[in-house]
Amino acid sequence: MAKITIDNLRHAYISEPTRDEHYALKRVHLDWADGGAYALLGPSGCGKTTLLNLISGLLHPSEGRILFDGKDVTMETPEARNIAQVFQFPVIYDTMTVYDNLAFPLRNRGVDEAEIKKRVSAIAEMLELTATLSHRASGLTADGKQKISLGRGLVRDDVNVIMFDEPLTVIDPHLKWQLRSKLKELQQRIKRTMIYVTHDQTEALTFAEQVVVMNNGEVVQTGTPIELFERPMHTFVGHFIGSPGMNLLPCEVKGGAAFVSGKQVPAANAKKAKSGRKLELGVRPEFVRFANKGLPADVVRVSDIGRYRVVETRVNGTPVKLVVGEDTEVPVGKAHLVFDATHTQIYSDGWLVGSRP
């Protein structure tokens, strides 16, 4: 178990990077506490797997350092770093039994058989694999195989960090949910540092205490799921997290107040905003409601998502979505919208106004 510090890390897959776009990972700084559950979230190709492989030691960075408990491990092998990783596709040793699979990392490290038996039984119990211990691993279903991959990391009680690289990709939907709760439960029980890479917001937000949102090789925001939801630092986060994503409306600022299509709209950070840049007003669909007066809008479409409905409207041509309860009456045609002032923020060139010096 270890505290992980990522210091000025950069990585390029080509040998002599000169320009910024050569880097798959552009200068990342992170501090992760021991025993925490973290998620790296971002669209495909955002650099999250690169970052993961740098931490596990499968790749070595072009620049920067990685510290485990203050010790520089930047150039060390995965084995020396003492980490565990669960891959996107289940990696198991086909010819071995489930027991031998779980025992493999211990046998490679010369642990004696009595100790192996003890630890493998304990882990198998935890992962509900006890009944299959004597079976050949190749006969198991995908979720069973992923459990074995995870188990191979858990049997070593001295691993610094366990990493997950989109581990639920090949799991059937109904088992996904089960395995996800199992993971969360395990994390809380054994309190080991875990890093979970995914492009699925549900997986990231349910698993992690701290989510690192990445885009284009950069960290856009680090925060708890609630922070990401309520105070997205960047319009990308607002858009990427939440379903549907945050509404963005072009706006102007005059005398410390925000205006959308000429109408004044309350915003939490309106006073700090300076005109001259590209300003946008961001508000999540959950914080928009219908009212008798307010911003005039046209109702375009209503979709029933089950326990709530998503209403799509247009304000002067810009789409604005609302999440409303099943009982709420949706006006037909012309309507007026009101935004919740504390959850309405202004973004300047994409970044939350007041969040950066």
Partner 1 sequence: MNKTWNNRAWWLVLPVFLMVAFNALVPLMTVVNYSVQETFGNNEFFWAGSRWFEDILRSDRFHDALLRSGIFTLLVLALEVPLGLGIALTMPRKGPWVSVCLVLMSLPLLIPWNVVGSMWNIMALPDIGLLGKAINALGINYNYTRQPISAWFTLVLMDVWHWTSLVALLCYAGLVSIPDAYYQAAKIDGARPWAVFRYIQLPKLRHVLTIAILLRFMDSFMIYTEVIVLTGGGPGNATTFLSIDLVKYALGQFDLGHAAAMSIIYFLIILFASWLFYTLMMRHQEQ
Which residues have a Cβ under 8 Å from the Cβ of 339 and sit 6 or more positions away? 265, 266, 267, 281, 283, 287, 288, 295
One-letter amino acid identity for 10? R
DSSP letter for each residue of 209-222 = SEEEEEETTEEEEE
Helix (H) or strand (E) holding 280: strand 279-283
Instruction: Determine, following the binding rule CB under 8 A, whether residue 83 of this chain makes contact with partner 1.
Output: yes
CB-based contact 120:103 (threshold 8 Å): yes
Among 109, 117, 191, 301, binds partner 1 (CB under 8 A): 109
- Minimum distance, C-beta of residue 133 to partner 1, in the bound complex (Å): 17
Size of the site for partner 1 (CB under 8 A): 24
**Interatomic CA distance for residues 222 and 232, integer angstroms:** 10
Nearer to partner 1, 60 or 274 (CB): 60
Stretch that binds partner 1, among 41-49, 91-99, 192-200, 245-253 (CB under 8 A): 91-99
Sheet holding 63-68, edge to edge: 23-32, 4-12, 63-68, 71-72
CA distance 134 to 294: 68
302 binds partner 1 (CB under 8 A): no
Task: Single out the segment in contact with partner 1 by CB under 8 A; choices: 2-10, 103-111, 177-185, 186-194.
Answer: 103-111
- By the rule CB under 8 A, 104 interacts with partner 1: yes
Q: Which of 85, 187, 215, 222 binds partner 1 (CB under 8 A)?
A: 85
Ramachandran sector of residue 144 (left: φ over 0; alpha: ψ -120 to 50; beta: rest): alpha
User: C-beta of 21: minimal distance to partner 1 in Å?
Assistant: 24
Taking residues 139 to 178 in sequence order and writing x for each that binds partner 1 by CB under 8 A, - otherwise, the string is ----------x--xx-------------------------
Q: By CB under 8 A, tell whether 78 contacts partner 1.
A: yes
The Cβ-side half-sphere exposure at 209, using a 13 Å CA radius, reads 12
List the Cα angle 316/307/173 in 5-degree steps. Answer: 110
Residue 13 is a binding residue for partner 1 (CB under 8 A): no
Nearest to partner 1 of 167, 282 (CB atom): 167
125 binds partner 1 (CB under 8 A): no
Which residues of the chain form contacts with partner 1 (CB under 8 A)? 56, 58, 77-79, 83-85, 87-89, 91, 93-96, 104-105, 108-109, 136, 149, 152-153
